[in-house]
């Protein structure tokens, strides 16, 4: 295991900012997987995680999650960016299952279960797809995930998704539904970048502040969206903005913070009504332009950094697991020797 232990010292970002780092990173992933396979230390979980990272790197599949507390408007924001009301929304905590949105020629829904089962619905209308999503991902229809759904993937015709990004709608944190928070925390290792959504009522809570501290280091790129700004006067928005930036400063995120001010509900309505002026006024046009610019210029580099960092974490965990197993074996040998000595003395 000495080589696996040394692999923990790899600089995740080295080679990612200039040149084509993909071949080097691919080789490092293959090497890490071989080390886990050859260790015979019960590292199948690490092997599986590295295999998933290899596949994402090969497909250039970039995971961009939408995170935040419940009822901040995450699903509505994604619907606005998609241009239609696909994802479930409501006035109570709703999304309980992570939903992965990726590009597709025709609308389809894949439902994956914890027991390995899979259901597939293809060539769907918007209404049919929305009803299926309500059935499997909405807390009202699938309370505490009694159906055992692991995740849902949606294929959706979309100019935004056609850039190779996979958008992830996550359960809201901090509600009375504790399992939603646990699902979102468990999803962070799969996220390369994230939009953290807050709203003006209130601008940020202690739960969100603690969550932000946990998100740091888990994603390679983090941006912020303040939703529901249409409810504020200009003076109120300035006050909320100052408070929010103060909180970001306290958790060490203010200096490089990118913040967008939007009304997701207004944006969805104007997108559906094809009103360009109102779309711009909703703030969604600026957010969409940022997405497209970021995905065209930084997606590959950010993906490589994220994959490298996640691989380093997997290797570190694998090395620790192997070291602990080796120590337990050594302790067992010492205990066996002691018992033999005791037995011989008695004889």
pLDDT in tens, 320-344: 887 777 776 666 667 767 777 876 7
- CA 75 centroid distance within chain: 14
Q: Using an 8 Å Cβ cutoff, are 265 and 73 in contact?
A: yes
Q: How far apart are CA 263 and CA 72, in angstroms?
A: 11
The structure tokens listed for 209 are 């502040």
Longest dimension (CA), the chain: 95
Q: How far apart are CA 39 and CA 167, in angstroms?
A: 35
Please tell me the predicted confidence (pLDDT) of residue 8.
Answer: 34
* pLDDT level of residue 89 (50, 70, 90 thresholds): confident
Structure-model confidence comparison of residues 103 and 38, the more confident one: 103
Please tell me the predicted confidence (pLDDT) of residue 93.
Answer: 54
Q: How far apart are CA 76 and CA 58, in angstroms?
A: 31
User: Beta 149-156 vs 99-103: how paired, if at all?
Assistant: parallel
Angle (deg, nearest 10), helices 206-215 and 234-250: 50
Please tell me the predicted confidence (pLDDT) of residue 75.
Answer: 92
Least confident of 172-176, 214-218, 243-247, 266-270: 172-176
* pLDDT level of residue 94 (50, 70, 90 thresholds): low
Hey, what domains does the chain have and what are their CATH numbers?
Answer: 22-59 (no CATH), 62-302 (3.40.50.300)
DSSP-derived 3-state class of residue 303: helix
Q: How far apart are CA 102 and CA 109, in angstroms?
A: 10
**How many C-beta atoms surround the C-beta of residue 46 within 10 A?**
27
pLDDT digits (tens, 9 = 90+) for 191-220: 999 999 998 777 788 888 888 888 887 888
Its pTM stands at 0.80
Average pLDDT over residues 54-59: 88
The H-assigned helical ranges of the chain are 2-6, 22-39, 44-59, 74-82, 126-137, 178-187, 206-215, 234-250, 264-272, 276-281, 284-297, 299-346
Q: How far apart are CA 107 and CA 208, in angstroms?
A: 34
């Amino acid at each position: 295991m000495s080589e696996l232990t040394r692999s923990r010292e790899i600089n995740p970002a080295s080679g990612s900012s200039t040149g084509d780092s993909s071949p080097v990173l691919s080789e490092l992933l293959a090497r890490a997987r071989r080390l886990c396979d050859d260790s015979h230390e019960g590292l199948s979980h690490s092997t599986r995680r590295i295999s998933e990272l290899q596949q994402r790197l090969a497909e250039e599949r970039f995971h961009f999650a939408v995170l935040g507390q419940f009822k901040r408007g995450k699903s509505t924001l994604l619907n606005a960016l998609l241009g239609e009301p696909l994802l479930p929304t409501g006035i109570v905590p709703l999304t309980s299952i992570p939903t992965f949105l990726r590009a597709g020629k025709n609308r389809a829904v894949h439902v994956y279960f914890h027991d390995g089962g899979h259901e597939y619905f293809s060539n769907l209308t918007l209404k049919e797809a929305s009803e299926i999503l309500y059935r499997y991902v909405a807390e009202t229809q699938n309370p505490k995930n009694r159906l055992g759904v692991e995740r849902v993937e949606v294929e959706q015709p979309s100019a935004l998704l056609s850039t190779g990004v996979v958008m992830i709608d996550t359960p809201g944190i901090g509600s009375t539904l504790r399992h939603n928070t646990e699902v979102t925390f468990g999803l962070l290792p799969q996220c390369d970048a994230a939009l953290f959504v807050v709203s003006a009522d209130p601008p940020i809570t202690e739960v969100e502040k603690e969550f932000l501290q946990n998100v740091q280091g888990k994603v390679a790129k983090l941006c912020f969206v303040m939703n529901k700004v249409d409810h504020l006067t200009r003076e109120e928005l300035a006050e909320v903005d100052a408070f929010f930036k103060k909180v970001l400063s306290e958790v060490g995120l203010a200096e490089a913070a990118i913040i967008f001010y939007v009304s997701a509900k207004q944006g969805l309505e104007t997108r559906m009504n094809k009103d360009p002026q109102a779309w711009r006024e909703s703030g969604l046009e600026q957010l969409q332009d940022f997405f497209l610019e970021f995905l065209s210029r930084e997606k590959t580099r950010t993906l490589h950094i994220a994959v490298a960092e996640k691989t380093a974490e997997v290797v570190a965990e694998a090395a620790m697991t192997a070291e602990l197993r080796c120590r337990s074996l050594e302790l067992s040998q010492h205990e066996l020797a002691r018992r033999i000595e005791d037995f011989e003395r008695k004889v």
